[in-house]
């Protein structure tokens, strides 16, 4: 990055506290680019949703994480001030390598959550859509199929309601139905993100990033809410309604 552009970039950082906190100045100074040219943005979106979406909001990716910075808000000023994708991509790549671990910004992101080409794919996708209105189009629009809207129907006294395997904060069914009586809730999580399923007063499965479990209870006719108990996940959309008749 040319010296004059670096000075302007630091000025943007100083006016945007969230963005400034994403990366120590010394690391930004090390470079603002990144490969980018050979990046696969479809794979980048898929990896972002799976690895990062449970923590970060990114409107174009449809993610609603609550434990890390809202990326659209963080980069909004940089976008308005005309900093290009290359500069933003470099910031994102450095944050992947050297996360800000302060408590006020989540403090839980592991270093090098993705590496090599995967990191470039993620950084390039995010830089291309962050703080941008509208929706992804073309191949990006179908890169991460949504689990929302599906209904699970009990069979032989059992319901299967899994965590979205793509990493979205959703169950594979947002609605479920079953006859009154004894019902077993079968749950599987293959996303790599910690999840469980719980129904108040009826039971729950252990929170785990990968695995299967179930619980059984007797249900009278009525409406019940199932949620993921990981903080922030239900609020972000990982919940559903079980109707028992």
CA distance 69 to 207: 23
Looking at residue 148, its pLDDT comes to 64
pLDDT the model gives residue 101? 59
Written as six digits, the tokens of 5 are 């552009």
Domains of the chain: which residue ranges? Answer: 3-142, 151-244
3-142 and 151-244 share one fold: no
Residue reference for tokens 């080409």:
117
Q: Which phi and psi (to 5°) does residue 39 adopt?
A: -75, 150
State the DSSP string of 51-75: IITTT-EEGGGTEE-SSS--HHHHH
- Sorted by sequence, the CB contacts under 8 Å of residue 138 that are 6+ apart come out as none
Q: In this predicted structure, what is the pLDDT of residue 24?
A: 39
pLDDT at 130: 95
Pairing, β 57-58 against β 63-64: antiparallel
CATH topology of domain 151-244: Immunoglobulin-like (2.60.40)
How many Cβ atoms sit within 10 Å of the Cβ of residue 58?
24
Per-residue pLDDT of the chain (245 residues), as tens digits, is: 444 444 444 444 444 444 444 443 433 443 445 556 789 999 999 999 988 988 899 999 999 888 889 999 999 988 888 888 999 999 999 999 988 755 544 457 888 889 999 999 999 999 999 999 999 999 999 998 876 668 999 999 999 999 999 888 999 999 999 999 999 999 999 999 999 999 999 999 999 999 999 999 999 999 999 999 999 999 989 999 999 99
Please provide the CATH number assigned to the domain covering 3-142: 1.10.760.10
pLDDT for 20 equals 44
């Amino acid at each position: 990055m040319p010296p004059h552009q670096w000075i302007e970039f630091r000025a943007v950082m100083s006016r945007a506290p969230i963005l400034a906190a994403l990366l120590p100045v010394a690391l930004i100074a090390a470079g603002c680019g990144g490969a980018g040219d050979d990046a696969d943005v479809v794979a980048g979106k898929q990896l972002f949703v799976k690895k990062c979406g449970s923590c970060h909001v990114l409107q174009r990716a449809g993610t609603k994480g609550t434990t890390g910075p809202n990326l659209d808000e963080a980069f909004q000023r940089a976008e308005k001030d005309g900093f290009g994708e290359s500069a933003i991509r470099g910031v994102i790549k450095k944050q992947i390598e050297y996360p800000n671990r302060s408590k006020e910004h989540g403090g839980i992101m592991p270093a090098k959550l993705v590496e090599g080409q995967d990191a470039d794919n993620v950084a390039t996708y995010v830089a291309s859509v962050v703080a941008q209105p509208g929706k992804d189009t073309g191949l990006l629009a179908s890169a991460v199929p949504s689990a929302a809207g599906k209904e699970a129907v009990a069979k032989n006294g059992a319901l299967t309601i899994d965590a979205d395997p793509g990493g979205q904060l959703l169950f594979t069914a947002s609605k479920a139905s079953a006859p009154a009586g004894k019902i077993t809730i079968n749950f599987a999580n293959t996303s790599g993100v910690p999840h469980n399923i719980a129904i108040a007063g009826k039971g729950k499965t252990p929170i785990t990033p990968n695995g299967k479990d179930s619980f059984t209870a007797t249900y009278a006719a009525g409406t019940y809410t199932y949620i993921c108990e990981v903080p922030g996940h239900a609020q972000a959309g990982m919940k559903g309604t079980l109707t028992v008749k």
